[in-house]
Structure 1
Amino acid sequence: MNLLGQKKWIVPFGICALAFGGLQLFRPTLENPPVTGDLAAPEPVKAILQKACYDCHSNETQLKWFDHISPGIWLVASDVQHARAAMNFSNWDKLSKDQQKAKLFESLNQATFGTMPPAQYTALHPSAKLTQQDIAVLKEYLATQIPKTEPTPQRAVAADNQFAAWTHAAAVHDVQPSPNGIDYIPDYKNWEIISTSDRPDTGTMKIITGNDVAIKAVRDHQTNPWPDGSVLAKVQYEASADANGAVHNGVFKQVGFMIKDSKKYSKTQGWGYAKWNGTKLEQPYKDGSYQMECTSCHAPMHDNDFVFTNGIDFSAGPLGAPSRSDSVNRVASLPKTPLFDTHGWKIITSFTDRSQGTTYMLFGNDSAAQAARSGQTTYPQGAVLSLVTWKSQEDENWFGATVPGALQSVEQVTFSAAQPKYDRYEGPALNQAATDPAKAEQRVAYIVQQRASIMP
């Protein structure tokens, strides 16, 4: 290059150098506050979390030399602040035991799907990458943290008392909207079922329902992406085991909504989130930070429009595993019986038998659902109950959870002026099975005694 050409580059290069040097004078301060209470875990587990998580999710951040250079330090500081707000191992003592466990299982879920640590972080910090062996160690440890749900009379009494208060209370009115403007949707209880989930890791049970737009999307296999206008409701309960080992929906904890509007909620991947706690629903959950919690939790499902389940496969015919091949999380298929297609079914309750590996959902037509939810001990003439049994299967998208798998049977009780009529459908084509009258009477009594899940 001649002298004239060299001179032509001196001024621009000098300006860039000065600008770059000036940037180094203006930089955010990233401090490491004191550790108030660290995670207590076996050393192999702790070592994995420290290498993959602690630089962002703790007050023990150790930056590389290049992390300190502006403008990169601005991005690093922002990422660390957001990460600490979502989960901070250095303030572990500020979380309840249940919250700690929930954060660990969420972290494992993120790691399993490769969402955490982020690819852009591991590209510059390769030592933070998690191997399959690392994930196996984390799974083995967390498997020991899943408690057995033992029969607890106090929990059963608390659930019964809450149910009694709910059935005698006036309808819920004037529920405040979420801080992000989402209104409470009381009709979720009358929507059709999407699925259920048993979460032993958090000691909770869940029922998921969907509005008409969502249900149509499920039936049409158009859930990736879900159409705008889809609304999913997730109702969460404290798991309550009975003396026979079945785990039921106990005390109502909360109900949350996911609302699809790709334009309105473009900043949160097209979904708006809101949640309300307690049967009186006086206050929405937290503040705007709830959006961050939800988007972070749902991030691993980015290839499934950020939803953990695609819902019930209404097109499945015979018993067996759901027929959908495009589902990330294959869940329950509703059966086709002479009675089941002729009523507008509402979910009454759900429960599991973990020892038998089975999942149950109790449905009712309008009169049956109304009677069950009002706490009536007898069902009116014309009421129909249907107890559907599935084989439980591991949730492919959440370690430790189970969802409905292969369909096993359908039992129906039809109430008339005479004795309740009992029908049972099972077999490869849901053939009606002959039933011993004495056993039928026992099954009717068992189905009728199931209490409705609380849905404020």
Structure 2
Amino acid sequence: MRVSRKKWTVIGLFLAVVMIAIQFIRPGISNPPVTGEIKVPDDVAQILRASCYDCHSNQTQLKWFDQIAPASWLVAQHITDGRKVLNFSNWNSLAPGDQKGNLFLSVNQAMFGEMPLASYATFHPEAKLTPAALNTLKTYVNSLAPVKISDTSRRAVAEKQFAQWTAGALPTVQQVSPVLNGIAYIQGYRNWQIVNISDRYDNGTMRVILGNDIAMKAIHAHKTNPWPNGTIFAKVAWEQLTDSNRIATSGELKQVEFMIRDDQKFASSAGWGWARWKGNDLKPYGKTLTFSQECVNCHQPMKNNDYVFTEPLTEDDRPEKITGLPQGQLITSTIDKNQHTHSVLYGNEIAVQHARSGAPGPYPAGAVLTLATWAQQDDAHWFGAKVPQHLQSVEVVKVDANAAYEQYLAPGWKKAAATLRPDRISYITQLKAAVIFN
């Protein structure tokens, strides 16, 4: 049935009246005073102003079309949300570590096209980041994370935590409260196998990602996108203690995180349950249930990788393939800032029990220690991190009446004859275990 011209006119007039009427419903976008604007080089400041300030500062400059309802309502919400997450006009309200962390996170969001929002950049093409502008941001932000030699106070904190840990004076799993979404701290995760390792130079931590049996089975079967239900990752982060030779060892344990895959139970948070505990008292992270959304937002660039940043070590980069020995359990890890290598010390059950006890004296007979060393490369998924590139060497110490030493070197992996190497045996057996709560 045709609509008459008169009816079209009435419809048009009605819509015009509605459009005029809704213009009086103003979202109330204001620009509060600037209390402490970020101080950066001029070229960086220009990029931030063009690409970030309209939503992430108190210096919003709206176009005429941004102020027409209903578009103005959406713009107002973006500004409100943006200022809550990050406000360059209140920069001095953030601790120095949080300032640096927010800049690294911002670059990561920009790398994967999450920021500026596509809906915003479509109508504000001047906000789009060019490759040159992104490189300028990367260069500046990278300069904020130099290698720092750890002072005695930081070492004292780590030593105190280690002493409390080996004495059993830290919270047990039964004493740790669950996070607000109901996820409880998982006992026994420290004996899981290693999925991968990470050098987070952006915040001065080193990390080990462990996986439960379901995760490791999926890795070996190359079925990781999506990960199967029941997969659990444990990510453990330690402060890097760096000496004058630029060798970093594990210092104070900073936090333990879990990602639990259950696409039904955790459907509202991208199919994953998120949980984090921080500090000596293992305080649950998150003030409200919305903390899970923070995790989802951070992992959003990896949505096509089932929200997982970590790429598992390849089969060829696992030391057990080289030695024929079982992988063993984590004892500790080290990073050589000069050689750009990352090493992990594994041990069999005898070795691990001795190392985690903090007992003085040599390892008991039957202990087997494996030190695997990887060359590093920039993490393609996280600006501010380095991950293994390829396995360089594997060293094995077998403790018996005498400690036997074996070495395997890439690329041929020819096993050197078992021999006494007091220098390497001493180095490997004297590495202190990293604190890892159970």
- Please give the range of the TM-score, normalised by the shorter of the 2 chains: over 0.9
Q: Distance in 1 between matches of 2:23 and 2:168?
A: 63
Determine the structure 2 residue equivalent to 1:322: none
- Cα distance per residue 1:316-336 (max 9 Å; x no partner): 2xxxxxxxxxxxxxxx54441
Partner of 1:244: 245
Find the counterpart in structure 1 of residue 83 from structure 2.
84
Partners of 1:148 and 1:91 in 2: how far apart? Answer: 28
Where in structure 2 are there 5+ consecutive unaligned residues?
none
Q: CA deviation at 1:104?
A: 0.6
Please identify, of 199-208 and 163-172, the stretch whose mean Cα deviation from structure 2 is larger: 163-172
Q: State whether structure 2 residue 359 is matched by structure 1 residue 376.
A: yes
Distance of aligned partners of 1:272 and 1:31 in 2 relative to their CA distance in 1, 3 Å threshold: farther
TM-score, normalised via structure 2 length: 0.93
CA-atom RMSD, angstroms?
Answer: 2.0
Aligned AA (2:366): G
Alignment of structure 1 residues 147-296 onto 2, 5 Å: 147-170=146-169, 171-296=172-297
- C-alpha separation in 2, matches of 1:410 and 1:369: 18
Distance apart, 1:78 and its partner CA: 2.0
Structure-1 separation of matches of 2:35 and 2:217? 50
* TM-score, normalised with respect to structure 1: 0.89
Matches within 5 A, 1:33-182: 33-170=32-169, 171-182=172-183
Instruction: State the shift of 1:197 in Å.
Output: 1.0
Once the two structures are overlaid, the 10-residue window that deviates more, 264-273 or 393-402, is: 264-273
Mapped pair 1:453 → 2:434: yes
> 1:450 is matched by which residue type in structure 2?
L
Instruction: Tell me how far 1:243 sits from its aligned partner.
Output: 4.1
Q: Is 1:415 the equivalent of 2:399?
A: yes
In structure 1, runs of 5+ residues without a counterpart are 317-331
Aligned length: 433
Q: 3-state SS of the aligned residue for 2:431?
A: coil
111-120 or 9-18, which moves further after superposition? 9-18
Could you report, residue by residue, the CA deviation over 1:277-316 in whole angstroms, capped at 9, with x for unpaired residues? Answer: 11221443443343233223222222222221221223x2
Secondary structure of the residue aligned to 2:291 is helix
Shift of 1:339: 4.3
Distance in 1 (CA, whole Å) between partners of 2:268 and 2:61 is 30
Aligned with 2:414 (options 396, 406, 431): 431
Are 1:441 and 2:426 an aligned pair?
Answer: no
Aligned position for 1:329: none
Deviation (angstroms), 1:18: 3.1
User: What SS does structure 2 have at the residue aligned with 1:82?
Assistant: helix
1:398-420 Cα distance to aligned partner (Å, 9 max, x none): 2332111111111111222x112
CA distance in 1, matches of 2:21, 2:272: 41
SS, match of residue 89 in structure 1: coil
1:351 aligned onto 2:352 = no
Letter in 2 for 1:227: P
Task: For 2:349, give the aligned amino acid.
Answer: D
Aligned to 1:325: none
Taking the aligned partners of 1:333 and 1:27, their CA distance within structure 2 comes to: 60
Q: Which moved more, 1:282-291 or 1:206-215?
A: 282-291
**Is the 8 Å Cα contact of residues 319 and 327 (structure 2) preserved in structure 1?**
no
1:55-94 Cα deviation digits (max 9, x unpaired): 1111222222222222222222222222222211111111
In the alignment, the residues of structure 1 paired with residue 59 and residue 297 of structure 2 have an alpha-carbon distance, to the nearest angstrom, of 22
